[in-house]
Structure 1
């Protein structure tokens, strides 16, 4: 059996300190040490480009940077320059900054399918504002969310539908309906089951699967016919699919959409965008015929340096062809991983999925079922080879050498994977408890 060579004593100590003060040991559940092999959850010191260093001094090629938010790489010079320029001018005032005007103009020029935009700090606030707006505009209370998409918000209307529903009253979750991705007939049946009750359909326009031909247009038609608001959650697809989001790529315009993650390259900024008549329900220039909607009102929603970061990100994407680069890097990585897995006899067990700019991987057992044990084995070998990869989501800071090195490490991991499959038991290679799913009822 292969022995583990990576030791992280300083990270282990830091993790203990984190758990002593912070519930879950991290400020995002997906960053928890339970998502990594036991005693192999590196605590990060700093990052540059596509690389990060842990407090033990180890360097890693990093994927899924900042939960997909750092798509240009860490400390990108154009973004840092824009942020630094604003820091010395003050970050928050008692009235709007001119930067808010410029950021809104830049966003609406980049995403021309939207007519108005409002900025916030996180995706949950933006999606919940969209749901609130839809309920107000339609006079309906029931929300229909896509059951195949993993996350929409930390707020009760979504978290109540997950296994971590403690503290959320059923009166909230009773107002939620679901529909499967890609199935227009099932969605229409759901809408018919709740006639004139559905305020909105909310979904990610694409994830690890492309929308079937005509699907998004079909949803648009269903929403119009049933009088509900169509909301695209573009937290991930925004910029990674195209500068104008999935709506720009697929040519289907939602009523409302939400953006975040890549928008700030790690700086805290999100956006709610959409039709003027809907957005003005939360403004001051509505006709006066409607009750006002408390849309988004956040003290730090328009911090100048975060908006400057967002403008720099959009400029960089457009001028440097970042979306195309992300796809090219992802295609090179996916081909390399698939070839390496096939060469080691695990091509059916280590599976790369998704759009090239947003790759994930599945780890399957002897029966080709998803396995947390085999995921643990795979992650352990990647970490030992200097690859930090909860997913294979690329940043544009990667280069061909990084991709080639990653493929070499994947090949080594697949060799161990093959041994575990032959033994019909990965346990000897885990060296601790398996990694765990984020959403689970008990700790």
Structure 2
């Protein structure tokens, strides 16, 4: 594919037409809410046709350096050849059978060698299924129903969690009345929850892009779970293969009872995993005298293509240093973008934050409050300069040239941002309505007529 030179005017006409057709056929116009057109400037939501490395191109012939990389699921780059070759070889011999395959054993062995804190693993297709299975298992183990979840953005599409969000239509109140919250890095808030409720499990990400665990926090969570008889569940969807291929549990030295994995473990291929201590996981098997737990049972969970992708990812992490490359690219990007913002006197208004392999950017208006209007203006301008970025999450495929283009695109975008800040409004600069939160009660303010 020939890449569009920086500064070349971009048309989104074909993408806009296709997006309209998608809205007619697919609720929300996308199969993931965070991929929706309402997350991008109006009439500038590219419909993609392919990618290579850290570059993607759309139906209008535009090319972009992409960040976010498949909602953080791609760490090795789009079309990474060893993964593609492994998948091609596997599916040539069939994809789905009536009995387990040798590949399932090999993939399980690979996973458990990577994650020494786990004794058993079961594969699935998406992270929500694994977190819900973990909750179900914890409830069976403890005989309790209350789930304590950390005040972090997302754990599952299932009722027990999504009913706690603004987008909770159709979910009975009783389905979520047993889900309670505590605050990250606040042991006292968790202690209060555990004292007030008979909690089956505590669910959290050990770290996020912008929040490292305070010294002693995770150890304290482990102690509180043990003293109150609750299971500890780590959500490793993002941290796994981005913090470490061994998971955040290895980085911070705290072993959970259960952990849930997905995203980058297949470099974009659909594979997820529930892993945990043998005494709990066996309740979903045939070596128990207890009542059996319906843990995970999916037609496509052991599909050969995704498991082959996972094994190829494991080999890549053993032979290369993708996390080091992601972090180096992220540090270089953060330094360059921060310098550009400072040059334009925007250091208080536009900031890059987070772990180098999982960077976010923050947009603020003239009042220094976070602003969707100014975020949309920034997205509009960097799209115009060849960067597709809801975040600055890197991959191992981001080259120095990709980072240089992004820094220059950001500098150009921030010049417009500076003028909008000086005028006190995005009026006259922003074309169309601002983006809106992906999970919200109504289609307003980005309702499609």
Same fold (TM over 0.5): yes
RMSD of aligned alpha carbons: 1.1
1:375-399 C-alpha deviation (Å, 9 max, x unpaired)? 0000001100000000000011111
Q: Equivalents in 2 of 1:189, 1:28: separation in Å?
A: 35
Aligned to 2:186: 183
Q: Equivalents in 2 of 1:243, 1:225: separation in Å?
A: 30
Indicate the SS of the match to 2:357.
helix
Query: Residue 167 of structure 2: which of 164, 167, 185 is its match?
Result: 164
1:95-153 C-alpha deviation (Å, 9 max, x unpaired)? 00000000000011111111110000000000000000000000000001012x11110
Q: Equivalents in 2 of 1:292, 1:135: separation in Å?
A: 12
Q: Could you tell me how far 1:186 is from its partner in structure 2?
A: 1.2
Indicate the SS of the match to 1:427.
coil
Query: Residue 20 of structure 2: which of 3, 16, 19 is its match?
Result: 16
Indicate the SS of the match to 1:105.
helix
Q: Could you tell me how far 1:309 is from its partner in structure 2?
A: 0.1
Q: Equivalents in 2 of 1:133, 1:212: separation in Å?
A: 29
Aligned to 2:420: 420
1:37-436 maps to which residues of 2 (within 5 A)? 37-147=41-151, 149-194=152-197, 197-207=198-208, 208-286=210-288, 288=289, 290-436=290-436
Contact 1:243 1:318 in 2 (8 A): no
Q: Could you tell me how far 1:190 is from its partner in structure 2?
A: 1.3
1:75-109 C-alpha deviation (Å, 9 max, x unpaired)? 10110111011011111110000000000000111
Q: TM-score, normalised by structure 2?
A: 0.96
Q: Could you tell me how far 1:4 is from its partner in structure 2?
A: 11
Q: Equivalents in 2 of 1:413, 1:174: separation in Å?
A: 45
Q: Could you tell me how far 1:353 is from its partner in structure 2?
A: 1.3
Q: Equivalents in 2 of 1:50, 1:433: separation in Å?
A: 28
Cα gap change, 1:385 to 1:18, in 2 (>3 Å): same
* Ranges in structure 2 where 5+ consecutive residues have no aligned partner: 1-6, 444-449
Q: Equivalents in 2 of 1:123, 1:183: separation in Å?
A: 26
Structure 1 segments, 4+ long, off by >6 Å, are none
Q: Equivalents in 2 of 1:257, 1:349: separation in Å?
A: 37
Q: Could you tell me how far 1:5 is from its partner in structure 2?
A: 4.2
* Ranges in structure 1 where 5+ consecutive residues have no aligned partner: none
Q: Equivalents in 1 of 2:406, 2:353: separation in Å?
A: 17
Q: Could you tell me how far 1:6 is from its partner in structure 2?
A: 3.1
Q: Could you tell me how far 1:7 is from its partner in structure 2?
A: 2.2
Contact 1:121 1:301 in 2 (8 A): yes
Contact 1:92 1:300 in 2 (8 A): yes
Contact 1:256 1:275 in 2 (8 A): yes
Q: Equivalents in 1 of 2:440, 2:8: separation in Å?
A: 29
Query: Residue 39 of structure 2: which of 31, 35, 38 is its match?
Result: 35
Q: Indicate the larger mover: 317-326 or 173-182.
A: 317-326
Indicate the SS of the match to 2:431.
coil
Contact 2:326 2:398 in 1 (8 A): no
